[in-house]
Structures are given as C-alpha cells and as structure tokens.
Structure 1
Amino acid sequence: MNYTLNNVPQREPKPRERGFTMAMDKGLSIREVEDFIEVAGEYVDIVKLGWATSYVVPNLQKKLDVFKAAGIPVYFGGTLFEAFVIRNQFDDYRRVLDKYNMTFAEVSDGSLEMDHDKKCEYISTLAEQVTVLSEVGSKDDAKIIPPYMWINLMQKELDAGAWKVIGEAREGGNVGLFRSTGEVRSGLVEEILTKVPFEKILWEAPQKAQQVWFIKLLGTNVNLGNIAPSEVVPLETIRLGLRGDTFSQFLDI
C-alpha cells in the first residue's frame, strides 16, 4: 500500500482460498487487459472470459498469454461448456482446454436442462484435467430453486470434485441469488451458509450494493465474482472499509 492506516482488515495473501475476486472479461482488447493488470492485477485472483466470448474474441491466445505472464489464471465461462455439451462435443471441449493450456474450467447448467448426476460426472471427469468451478442456479429468472435444493446441489458438486461452487447471478446480478431488482435473497444465502462452508462458495455479485451486503455479512475475505474490471479496485476499498459503504465496518478490529 502507498501509506499506513491503522484498523484496516487483513486480506488473505495470494494465492488465496478466501477473499477471492473473480473479474469478468466480456471482450477486453489486449491493450485493455494490459491496463487492467497494471491497475488491478494485485487484487484480482482469476478472470472469467464471459459466457462464450472466447469463441469470437480476436487474439485469444495473446490475451491468455498476457494474463498468464501476470500470474492471473483465466477460464472460459460455463455457457461455453454448455454449448459444447448440447452439441455432443464434450471431448472437443476437453481438447480446447488442452489447446489453450487452461488450468481451470467452469461446469454449469444455467442455460440447458441437465440431469444432475450427469453434471456431477462432467465435474469428476474434468477434475482429473483441471481445477473445476461449478455453478449452481438458473439463468431463467422465472425458475426459483428452493434453499434445500441449492444446498443439495452444492454439496453434491463439491463431493464430485468441484474446488468451489459458484452462486449464479449472471453478469447483471438479477437472477439466482438475487431478485429481478438486484436485491439479495438473504434468507436463501443464510440458509446455504448453515450447510456449505463460506470459503467453498464464490458469490456472483456484480452490483456494488450486493458486494457490500456480502462483505458486511461474511467479512473482508468473502469470495466474490462477476466483478467488472473497472470495479475491482473499488471493490478492494469496500473490502478494506475505505469506502463510505463499509467505512465503520472494521474500525474495531
């Protein structure tokens, strides 16, 4: 840091299991990636190339190389996995992971109907090849999953080999964990936390109010994802109690 402040919470050092920040790249240019790393590389733990943007973005390998040189792992969005699966190309998907030397992969079923046992098979298979993040929740805002089912799905996917489970919210933060207004389904989150360890969950929380809510509930080292590149530094100040939203949160540490 540039100077000393007392009563600032301790962040887990990288590589970390808690306090994870996942940023979403929705089509950054190489120059934008370089600028992003210069400003926020210290605070981001992993980058997701949103949904299937990796299929269309130019200079994909060069972009991956820039992130790799900065020590920031990257993975393809879960929708790309689903796009391969629905076309019966799972083996092709695995070859794509190898082609680009990916060390992480996301398994999701937010856009297609998938038998959960089959999803767990995909997780187990991919876990032999890469570190798996599995996403729970639907991208359909009309599909409401009860809390006991969220817990059951998360536990089974962790047992199948997922490193962390992701709570679905989409890039807008208006489905899954959240109401269409962006309001947190607080009862759902609190019930999930009675059964699933918080360090095993990556909460998609693209909106500032959502990030603040999770930090107030679970502290500075909560795992948060779907953060816009321009919001990584602002999020870090929220984590440290250096923005009005959490200004008094950590003063008694």
Structure 2
Amino acid sequence: MPISEPPRFLETAARTIKPRRSGITHVIDTGTPTAGIDERLRAHGAFVDVWKFGFGTAYLDRDVASKIELLQSHGVKACPGGTLLEAAWWQGRAEEFFSWARELGFNCVEVSRGATDLPAASKLDLIARARHHGFEVFAEVGGKDPGEPARPDRWLTEARRDIDSGACWLVAEGRESGTVGLYTADGLVRADLVDALEAAGPEVPVVYEAPRREQQAWLVNHLGSNVNLANISRDELLAVEALRRGLRSDTLRTRLAAACST
C-alpha cells in the first residue's frame, strides 16, 4: 500500500522547493524513452529541476517534442546539450539552432566550449544571442580537455564575463566522467576551483557537474544540502536527494547535525 505522506520522525536537512535557484538537481540523459521519463517523473519529479538531453541526442530524437512537453508538465526545464550548439556554431548555423530549439519548446540552452575551439568572444556572443531569443542560459565554465590545466583565476575571469553577457547559471565543467575540469584525473574535487566560482558573484548561481557519489558528497558536505548538482543520472534522483538530506553515510553526520542545530 503506498504511503500518502512521508514520515516525520527524523530531523533531516532542510531543502528548497521548486521552482528554485538553489538546491537544483540537473539530470543528464542519453536516450531514455518517453515512457521511462514519465515513470521517473511520476515517482521522483519533485527531486529534479532540469533535464538535459546529453550532447547531441536531441537532434536525433524523434520524440523530443513530446518529451519536452512531458517534462514541463512536471515543472522540469528541458535543455539541449551544449555540444549541439557548438556543432551548430562550428557550421555557422547557430541561428538555425536557436529557431529549432524555440520551436520545440526548450526553456533553456547550454553554452559551452568543450568540444570545439570556440573562442571566448564567440562564447559570449552565443550567450547574448540565446538570451535575445528568450532562453535561460547555462554557461559552462572550463573545458573538457584533460591536457588543458584548469586555473582558478582563469575560471573566475570566464565566469564573470559570462555573467556580464547574460548567463543565468554558471556550470562547472566536470564531464560525464568526473575526471576533468573541476576534478583531478582521479576524480577528486579541486577546492580552489570551487572557491573561484563561488567568488564570481551571488547574483548567478553555480551548478556543479558531479556524476560520482563521492563528488556529490564532498559538495554537499562543503557547500550545504542546497548546492546545485548536475550530470546526475536519471536513476539516481532518490539517492541524490537522500544524500542531500543526510540519509546516506557520506553526509549523515554533517547534514543531520546541521538539521538538529537549527
């Protein structure tokens, strides 16, 4: 028999509610059928805020329009992957991309520079153009190339320029593997890069790509239960929410202690 109301006998970490600017969970999806998305939203829709169609999958998905409609009916923003916009820019078809995305009903777009040699000025131009077309913009900071050293001062400069160009969110690059950008090759969090992004300005929230549980736990323990997390698997929504609330061993001591002290 399903439980109509959650139990109340524990003091768990306080969470924001949708729609929100802090505490968002940003899913990356690489091809879930419509029925699978519907199933997950019915079960855990309260725990997901943004659903990204990874890299260029939205361009190939015949059901993308119906999926976007389904997501929005559950209060979830739909976003194409940044690689798709990079591909459009590379072929000189960014305007066609924006028209296509608007016609399908996407709420937001991601502007990145990890797959191409997109110059910094072109990235800023794409952010401004996306805002002109009415999109909420997730601007990715950092690159996907593990051979390119990530420097906090450069990340901070890039973040502030993105904000000045109209970015609504900053996304800390971590890739699907969690081994580049924000992380070392071993998947450890670069605290100096986190500090740089947090210093960019409170008016634009930072979203941290964190595909691994230990990365999610570090961010929750250091930045709180309402840190913004991205590159979350569609199958980990409940697990990530438990982590945020202190209901996993990785965060139990810090999050439940914080809950009991308020």
- Settle same-fold status: TM greater than 0.5: yes
- What secondary structure, in the 3-state scheme, does the structure 1 residue paired with 2:163 have? helix
Letter of the 1:70 counterpart: H
1:161-199 deviations in Å (ceiling 9; x for gaps) = 000110011111111101121111122222432344396
- 1:46 aligned to 2:50? yes
Q: CA offset at residue 56 of structure 1? A: 1.7
Tell me the matched-pair count.
253
Tell me, in whole angstroms, the C-alpha distance in 1 between the residues paired with 2:201 and 2:239: 28
Moved over 6 A (4+): none
- 1:10 aligned to 2:10? no
Aligned to 1:229: 234
- 1:32 aligned to 2:36? yes
Which one of 137, 149, 152 corresponds to residue 154 of structure 2?
Answer: 149
- What secondary structure, in the 3-state scheme, does the structure 2 residue paired with 1:245 have? coil
Aligned residue runs from structure 1 range 92-131, under 5 A: 92-128=96-132, 129-131=134-136
Letter of the 2:138 counterpart: L
Aligned to 2:80: 76
Aligned to 2:211: 206
Distance verdict in 2 for CA 1:60–1:192, change over 3 Å: closer
Whether the 8 Å CA contact 2:159–2:200 is kept in 1: the answer is no
Whether the 8 Å CA contact 1:199–1:222 is kept in 2: the answer is no
- 1:179 aligned to 2:179? no
- 1:64 aligned to 2:68? yes
Structure 1: where are the runs of 5+ without partners? none
Which one of 142, 145, 150 corresponds to residue 137 of structure 1?
Answer: 142
- What secondary structure, in the 3-state scheme, does the structure 2 residue paired with 1:2 have? coil
Q: CA offset at residue 23 of structure 1? A: 0.7
Q: CA offset at residue 218 of structure 1? A: 0.5
Whether the 8 Å CA contact 1:151–1:196 is kept in 2: the answer is no
RMSD: 1.5
Tell me, in whole angstroms, the C-alpha distance in 2 between the residues paired with 1:4 and 1:199: 34
Q: CA offset at residue 249 of structure 1? A: 1.1
Tell me, in whole angstroms, the C-alpha distance in 2 between the residues paired with 1:202 and 1:25: 17
Letter of the 2:249 counterpart: G
